[in-house]
Structure 1
């Protein structure tokens, strides 16, 4: 039996070096691998290139790494709700590769599937395809680095832009259940980008709320097979989960 369990989050991320590229699961604050993120923060790893739908908020999720100046570059599709992100980007301290959400998902999936690149209609006729999107600003507010133009081809009667797949050195993901072989089950909205991030990482580290023995998971219920997962850490069902914006209704409404 291949037992992929690692005793602690700190041990699971211990070999992630400065300058590593990491795909991180989560959408907003849903499904954030917070125990792994905090372990990475505690060990002092820096100069990171992160691929994730967003960068958390100022004091949670990837926002804690950002606030500690540990992130050099973000590849994301949504960068709102984080004031420190805005400040670092506009002041030239942070590089940003802004990517349409569906394109980002497919770039991660393609990387995990061994597909080098693909054509998509998304972004045709915009700076996504034509280039010129600011990636890094200079201290004086000018654009220091801009996105390059991408290949555009016509198939049938429509134009498509070429997007390259994404692979990273590591992946950090959160799952509801997992077994010692690395098979994972995600819960509801927390599934989001987690399977895709896991696929893209050459070494995938998963934190799971509940670790079960091999054979305990219904094979038809497995969302991500263990072939994509290399380390599993059990973090417990009482791990803190935050909500970005809570909306409630009064009784009867």
Structure 2
């Protein structure tokens, strides 16, 4: 039952070329920067990355793109505060993009975790994003059918975790992390502190250990926004 891993590098060591990788976070909040950078060091290729945005500056997901790891981005906001890495790669034809409205993105991930292969939503009906997708009419209104969104691996960030993989989150850091943990074949969580089994009140557990395969402690995680303000690059 002990799911602890010694280092971020060891945690991501088995992620292969071509994997579909969900990465938690809303901007820098809840983003597992240390796991992302460990994955860059390992350098698997042709990854499909699912995140709320396509990275900022030259760290995190943006650094993954600059290092040539990412073949496709599935996200809601490809252009955010400093999207230079994605913009350059997209204009050069080095990366594919699938834009998904934010609520639909969250629901596609949640649906996968709940075992729901498809659902209908009014969002995107009549737009380019609905092109080629089945449409049904319910009670006089048109809805677009969306498929669930699953991944081979989810990289997430939590606040506290125990060796069995039970997780808590801190404030806005919760965001996409819990639903991504449920929608991947393998979930790797970095946490600020690993506590003893039983130290987390069961009422406070957000992601039960059944959805988490590996936990690695990162006591002082870096924040993406701070790295960007400092002009940091990775590697």
TM superposition score normalised by structure 2: 0.93
Contact 1:204 1:231 (C-alpha < 8 Å) held by counterparts: yes
Please give the secondary structure, in 2, of the residue aligned with 1:63: helix
Deviation at 1:44, TM superposition (A): 1.7
Aligned to 1:213: 196
Aligned ranges 1:18-37 → 2 under 5 Å = 18-37=17-36
Aligned to 1:191: 174
Aligned to 1:103: 104
> What is the CA–CA distance in structure 1 between the aligned matches of 2:133 and 2:192, rounded to whole Å?
41
Contact 2:166 2:209 (C-alpha < 8 Å) held by counterparts: yes
Please give the secondary structure, in 2, of the residue aligned with 1:50: strand
> What is the CA–CA distance in structure 1 between the aligned matches of 2:69 and 2:198, rounded to whole Å?
39
Q: Provide the aligned length of Structure 1 versus Structure 2.
A: 226
Question: Does 2:224 match 1:242?
Answer: yes
Deviation at 1:47, TM superposition (A): 1.1
TM superposition score normalised by structure 1: 0.86
Aligned to 1:174: 157
Unaligned 5+ segments in structure 1 are: 132-148, 247-253
Deviation at 1:111, TM superposition (A): 0.7
> What is the CA–CA distance in structure 1 between the aligned matches of 2:83 and 2:225, rounded to whole Å?
14
Please give the secondary structure, in 2, of the residue aligned with 1:62: helix
Please give the secondary structure, in 2, of the residue aligned with 1:86: helix
Contact 1:58 1:67 (C-alpha < 8 Å) held by counterparts: no
Bigger share in helix: 2
Deviation at 1:223, TM superposition (A): 1.1
> What is the CA–CA distance in structure 2 between the aligned matches of 1:44 and 1:120, rounded to whole Å?
37
> What is the CA–CA distance in structure 2 between the aligned matches of 1:218 and 1:29, rounded to whole Å?
27
Aligned to 2:133: 150
Unaligned 5+ segments in structure 2 are: 230-235
Aligned to 1:136: none
Deviation at 1:56, TM superposition (A): 2.0
Aligned to 1:94: 95
Deviation at 1:83, TM superposition (A): 1.0
Aligned ranges 1:128-139 → 2 under 5 Å = 128-129=129-130, 131=131
Contact 1:29 1:56 (C-alpha < 8 Å) held by counterparts: no
Segments ≥4 residues shifted beyond 2 Å: 242-246
Asked which structure has the greater CA Rg, the reply is 1
> What is the CA–CA distance in structure 1 between the aligned matches of 2:75 and 2:206, rounded to whole Å?
23
Please give the secondary structure, in 2, of the residue aligned with 1:75: strand
Question: Does 2:64 match 1:65?
Answer: yes
Give 2:147's match in structure 1, choosing from 164, 174, 178.
Answer: 164
Deviation at 1:88, TM superposition (A): 1.2
Contact 1:17 1:45 (C-alpha < 8 Å) held by counterparts: yes
> What is the CA–CA distance in structure 1 between the aligned matches of 2:212 and 2:137, rounded to whole Å?
38
RMSD: 1.3
> What is the CA–CA distance in structure 2 between the aligned matches of 1:242 and 1:38, rounded to whole Å?
11
With a CA cutoff of 8 Å and minimum separation of 6, indicate the structure with the bigger relative contact order: 2
Contact 1:29 1:61 (C-alpha < 8 Å) held by counterparts: no
> What is the CA–CA distance in structure 2 between the aligned matches of 1:232 and 1:199, rounded to whole Å?
15
Aligned to 2:78: 79
